[in-house]
Structures are given as structure tokens and as C-alpha cells.
Amino acid sequence: MREQLLALLDEIRPDVEFEKETKLIDDGILDSFDIISIVQEMNDTFGVRIKANELQPDNFNTVDAMIELIEKLKRRA
């Protein structure tokens, strides 16, 4: 899952070193368009449905947080 996620993130923002960043949202590295693109890709790739209320900084600040969100949604599905 991690490789898949990193690949899709890299496709959207090749200029960001996602593994190193810990405050992708808090530091304004990702803007709202990036987030929408990332969510669309995550939905399609992992078969989940991320809703607007899940777009919290805590869920998108790091790659680990994104993986945790996907796993949580997969468990729920």
C-alpha cells in the first residue's frame, strides 16, 4: 500500500519529498487542489470513499497518517 500511495503522491506533486515531510497541510505544502487530487486518486486506487469531514490536517500531514486513514476506511467498508 505504501508504495502505491507514494507513487500516486509523487505523480501529483513530484516536487515534494513525501517521506520526509511531517506537516504537509500545516506548513501549506499541499493546497486544496492537491488534496482533492490526492483524495480522488486514493478513492480510485484503494477502493475507499473519503468524505469532506475526513479532510482534517491530522489525516493528511504525513504519509503514515494517510495510510492510517485508508486502513480505517477499509476496515469500515
Partner 1 sequence: MTFVTLPFFIFVAAVTLAYFLAPRQCRWVVLLLGSYYFYWTNSAWLVLVLLGTTWVTFGIGLWLQRVNDQKQTWLKANGELPWSEVSKYENRINRRARCILLLGVAIDLGALLFLKYFNFFGQNINRLLSGLGHGSPVPVLKLLLPLGISFYTLQAIAYMVDVYRGDERADRNPFKFMLFMSFFPQIVQGPIPRHDKLAVQLYEPHDFDYTRMCYGVQLMVWGLIKKLVIAERLAIPTNYLFDHFADFKGPILLFASAMYGLQVYTDFSGGMDIARGVAHILGIELELNFTQPYFSSSIEEFWRRWHITMGSWMKDYVFYPLSLSEPFTNLSRKCRKVMGKYIGKRIPAFLAMFIVYFLVGFWHGPNWKYVAYGIWNGVFIMSGILLESTYARCRKKLGIQEKAVTWRLFRIIRTFILVSIGRFFSGAADLRTALDMIGRMFMHWRDITFIYNGTLLKAGLNTANWFLLFVMLMLLFFVDFMHEKKVSFRQVLDEQPLVFRWLIYIAAVLVILIFGYYGPQYDAASFIYAGF
Query: Which of 40, 58, 68, 72 contacts partner 1 by CB under 8 A?
Result: 40
Kindly indicate which of the ranges 2-10, 18-26, 32-40, 59-67 contains the residues binding partner 1, using the contact rule CB under 8 A: 32-40
For helices 63-76 and 2-12, the axis angle rounded to 10 degrees is 120
Is residue 20 part of the contact set for partner 1 (CB under 8 A)? no
N-terminal to C-terminal alpha carbon distance within the chain: 17
Is residue 36 part of the contact set for partner 1 (CB under 8 A)? yes
Query: Which of 37, 45, 65, 67 contacts partner 1 by CB under 8 A?
Result: 37
